[in-house]
Amino acid sequence: MEDVAQERRLEVGRQRRARTRANIVAAAFDLFGSEEGLFTRIEDIAAKAGVTRATFYNHFGGMAELREAVSYEVTHDFLEGVNTITRSLSDPRERASTAIRLYLHRARLDRRWAWSMVNISANGIVFGAETHRQAELTVAEAMQAGLLHLRSSVLGRDLVLGTTLSAISTMLRGEGEQDQPELVAGHILLAMGVPFDTAKEIANRPLPTLGSPRCSLD
């Protein structure tokens, strides 16, 4: 009986710890998801989550670790949906273009998500580690297929992610064209060496429907 009671106490403690961590991540998302979110401090997040600074550090080593946790929560399911769609596309250039457009269309529909991406990326890995890896992998596949001629997949990854992030900032300011996602995707392909007419055609192919994006922090 004593062993059962001890295990129960441990389980209650694990659940309490998980709830506290989730509250901190949710508070951070709320703060990062505003125009002023770039200036969010640990003290701000702790206060919103209703925890002490010491409790924050019991769960996260610092802001970099927290940013990655938030980026995972707000992009993982979305990226899974994007990957499900793009996996059926044989041309890696089209996979890259489709992913870019889906991210930009999502940003247009959800300003809080868009601001969180901009603010989290400002002092960390752009769009988080998962998206970062996937972008480079897609570029590498296109290079291996002889469809892109770049010095490295890292260069292509930075063209994709850096330009997409900048485009999100532009859209948040109410600038850009109505077909900004397609224009951006096409010009990223062009910058990576795809001929103009081909880049334009790929970037304007019918865009698959992703469905309603879900965020586990909502």
The full DSSP string for 114-150 is HHHHHHHHHTSSTTHHHHHHHHHHHHHHHHHTTS---
Q: Which residues contact 195 (CB under 8 A, 6 or more apart)?
A: none
pLDDT band at 14 (very low <50, low <70, confident <90, very high): confident
**What is the per-residue pLDDT for 209?**
82
**What is the per-residue pLDDT for 128?**
87
In order of 18, 119, 131, the CA distances from 170 in angstroms are 36, 14, 20
- At 141-189, the pLDDT tens digits run 999 999 999 999 999 999 999 999 999 999 999 998 999 999 999 999 9
Please state the CATH superfamily assignment of the domain spanning residues 63-203 in this structure. Answer: Tetracycline Repressor, domain 2 (1.10.357.10)
Mean pLDDT over residues 102-124, rounded?
91
Domain ranges across the chain: 63-203
In order of 9, 117, 172, the CA distances from 99 in angstroms are 45, 15, 19
Question: Poorest-confidence range of 22-31, 68-77, 163-172?
Answer: 68-77
In order of 5, 54, 57, 168, 185, the CA distances from 100 in angstroms are 52, 39, 35, 11, 6
Cβ pair 149, 139 in contact under 8 A: no
**What is the per-residue pLDDT for 10?**
59
Cβ pair 120, 131 in contact under 8 A: no
**What is the per-residue pLDDT for 210?**
78
- This prediction's pTM: 0.85
Question: Poorest-confidence range of 59-68, 86-95, 115-124?
Answer: 115-124
**What is the per-residue pLDDT for 38?**
85
- Report percent pLDDT > 90 for the chain: 71
Helix (H), strand (E) at residue 201: helix 196-203
Cβ pair 143, 153 in contact under 8 A: yes
Mean pLDDT over residues 21-27, rounded?
93
Q: Which residues contact 57 (CB under 8 A, 6 or more apart)?
A: none
- Report percent pLDDT > 70 for the chain: 90
**What is the per-residue pLDDT for 16?**
85
Say if residue 195's pLDDT is above 80: yes
**What is the per-residue pLDDT for 157?**
97
**What is the per-residue pLDDT for 2?**
62
Q: Which residues contact 89 (CB under 8 A, 6 or more apart)?
A: 95, 98
**What is the per-residue pLDDT for 168?**
97
**What is the per-residue pLDDT for 213?**
54
Mean pLDDT estimate for the chain: 90
